[in-house]
């Protein structure tokens, strides 16, 4: 089952054993965390190459180190592929991950103390959208919108009213626990009205956009920020994209504003992932992710689960477990013991604390990468249902039974990059 790592095993057997154990865990479990995925063997290989050895501060043709004959081409390939895939004029593939990418946006378009606006973290937003505990909420004045309590949906009248009152320099749309389509034109109209830069943080849905399974933020958003490792199925990294008019400001903000040398091995793996995402098979993948999520949502509703906003349009489902009388954390930990990996999550207007919230967040990118289809979603919903019930009763035997059933299905669906 585990891949051989001969050099690692010889040099550091202790660490090699841990890598092997993680491979086994990823192979045997049903991974439902919506921000995770399995990269292809090609992406995995690219991210472990000698490109690791090279320093390349600056941009292609304008580096502060020599010996960039190859690296410039690698980065050029990644940039060209990002531009072609997303239909943008400019792409920067150097941000180390999503949070630094978003911080670069602040550096490009705002001054410390300026007002910025984003969705509140407990409503489904992201820390870096101006939430108080983040540097973005400490160094900037974050004002936050949410979703309506009755519908679980964004109320654009409320967003407009807040934006016109507060006049933010930057408005973020997107987040980490949003099960519904993001209305980019509606956000763009509000940003225009109040003179803000609109940033679409599409980290969760970049792969769906690339595969035509979610509307594109182009041409509505001024800046598009994304990680590369979620639905896009690339390595852990990020990209910033924009029209040409913002290219210089964003590039300067990433380097030298915020970062030093780019991680060239990651840039290479991003290039591979972008190539894979431009193939017809990736369109099928993206559509399947959404079809699976919808089927899973239906199956969960049939079993009496309370889903925020009543369902999903994308890859993600947010479940409020209050009616099941099992706290999110208790359920998440029990499901983990049952071989089903989810994360506990706040739900909008959650009366509980973020470290012990009412909900769990699940998604279908990983299971779709393993070839599971809509025909499997009733079984997945059933395991979740039985797992949550077992969590409430502290029934370890039931959890162990589920774990065995999950492992059996998983063994019939080898994961990309792990199949051996």
Catalytic residues: 55, 57, 201, 227, 230, 236
- The binding track of 79-118 with respect to ligand DSN, each residue x by CB under 6 A or -, is -------------------x--------------------
User: Among residues 239, 200, 226, 231, which one has the least CA distance to residue 119?
Assistant: 200
The residue within the footprint of ligand DSN, chosen from 37, 47, 68, 176 (CB under 6 A), is 176
Residue 100 near residue 259 (C-beta atoms within 8 A): yes
**Residue 124 burial (CB < 10 Å; 0-12/13-18/19+)?**
buried
Site for ligand DSN in 112-151 (CB under 6 A): 126
Q: Of 176 and 358, which CB lies nearer to ligand DSN in the complex structure?
A: 176
**Residue 270 burial (CB < 10 Å; 0-12/13-18/19+)?**
buried
Q: Of 68 and 358, which CB lies nearer to ligand DSN in the complex structure?
A: 358
Q: How many residues bind ligand DSN (CB under 6 A)?
A: 4
Q: How far is the CB of 35 from ligand DSN (least distance, A)?
A: 3
Q: Is the dihedral of CA 155, 158, 160, 166 positive or negative?
A: negative
Which residue number has the CB closest to ligand DSN?
Answer: 35
242 beta partners:
90, 223
Residue 79 near residue 206 (C-beta atoms within 8 A): no
Q: How far is the CB of 226 from ligand DSN (least distance, A)?
A: 12
Q: Of 126 and 376, which CB lies nearer to ligand DSN in the complex structure?
A: 126
Q: Of 35 and 94, which CB lies nearer to ligand DSN in the complex structure?
A: 35
CA distance 342 to 29: 11
The tally of CA atoms less than 13 A away on the side-chain side of residue 32 is 29
| 345-360 per-residue burial string, b: 16 or more CB within 10 A, e: under 16 | bbbbebebeeeebbbb
Helix (H, G, I), strand (E, B) or coil at 273: helix
By CB under 6 A, is residue 35 in contact with ligand DSN?
yes
Q: How far is the CB of 204 from ligand DSN (least distance, A)?
A: 6
Q: How far is the CB of 187 from ligand DSN (least distance, A)?
A: 19
Q: How far is the CB of 258 from ligand DSN (least distance, A)?
A: 17
Q: Of 56 and 176, which CB lies nearer to ligand DSN in the complex structure?
A: 176
Site for ligand DSN in 297-336 (CB under 6 A): none
Phi, psi dihedrals of residue 266, rounded to the nearest 5°: -75, -40
Q: Of 20 and 118, which CB lies nearer to ligand DSN in the complex structure?
A: 118
Largest CA distance in the chain: 63
CA distance 45 to 42: 5
Q: How far is the CB of 98 from ligand DSN (least distance, A)?
A: 6
- The residues that touch ligand DSN, with contacts defined as CB under 6 A, are 35, 98, 126, 176
């Amino acid at each position: 089952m585990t891949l051989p790592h001969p050099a690692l095993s010889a040099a550091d057997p202790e660490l090699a054993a841990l890598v092997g154990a993680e491979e086994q865990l990823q192979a045997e479990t049903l991974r439902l965390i919506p921000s995770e995925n399995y990269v292809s063997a090609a992406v995995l290989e690219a991210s472990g190459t000698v490109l690791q050895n090279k320093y390349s501060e600056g941009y292609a043709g304008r580096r502060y180190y020599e010996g960039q004959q190859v690296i410039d081409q690698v980065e050029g390939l990644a940039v060209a592929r990002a531009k072609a895939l997303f239909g943008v004029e400019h792409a920067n593939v150097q941000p180390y991950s999503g949070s630094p990418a978003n911080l670069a946006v602040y550096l490009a378009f705002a001054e410390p103390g300026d007002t910025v606006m984003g969705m509140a973290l407990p409503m489904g937003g992201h820390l870096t959208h101006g939430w108080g505990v983040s540097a973005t909420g400490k160094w900037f004045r974050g004002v936050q919108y949410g979703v309506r309590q009755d519908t679980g949906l964004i109320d654009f009248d409320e967003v407009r009213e807040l934006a016109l009152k507060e006049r933010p320099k930057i408005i973020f749309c997107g987040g980490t626990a949003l099960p519904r389509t993001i209305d980019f034109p509606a956000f763009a109209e509000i940003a225009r009205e109040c003179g803000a830069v609109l940033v679409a943080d599409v980290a969760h849905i970049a792969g769906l956009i690339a595969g035509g399974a979610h509307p594109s933020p182009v041409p509505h958003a001024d800046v598009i920020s994304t990680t590369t490792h979620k639905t896009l199925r690339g390595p852990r990294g990020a990209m910033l994209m924009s029209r040409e008019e913002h290219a210089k400001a964003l590039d300067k903000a990433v380097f030298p504003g915020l970062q030093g040398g780019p991680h060239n091995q990651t840039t290479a793996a991003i290039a591979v992932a972008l190539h894979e995402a431009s193939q017809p098979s990736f369109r099928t993948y993206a559509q399947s992710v959404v079809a699976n999520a919808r089927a899973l949502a239906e199956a969960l509703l049939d079993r009496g689960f309370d889903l925020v906003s009543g369902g999903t349009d994308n890859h993600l489902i947010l479940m409020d477990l209050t009616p099941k009388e099992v706290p999110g954390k208790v359920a998440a930990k029990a499901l983990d013991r049952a071989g089903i990996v989810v994360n506990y999550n706040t739900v909008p207007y959650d009366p509980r604390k973020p470290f012990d919230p009412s909900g769990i967040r699940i998604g279908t990118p990983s299971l779709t990468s393993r070839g599971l289809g809509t025909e499997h979603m009733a079984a997945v919903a059933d395991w979740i249902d039985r797992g949550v019930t077992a969590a409430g009763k502290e029934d370890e035997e039931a959890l162990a039974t589920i774990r065995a059933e999950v492992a059996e299905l998983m063994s019939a669906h080898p994961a990309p990059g792990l199949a051996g």
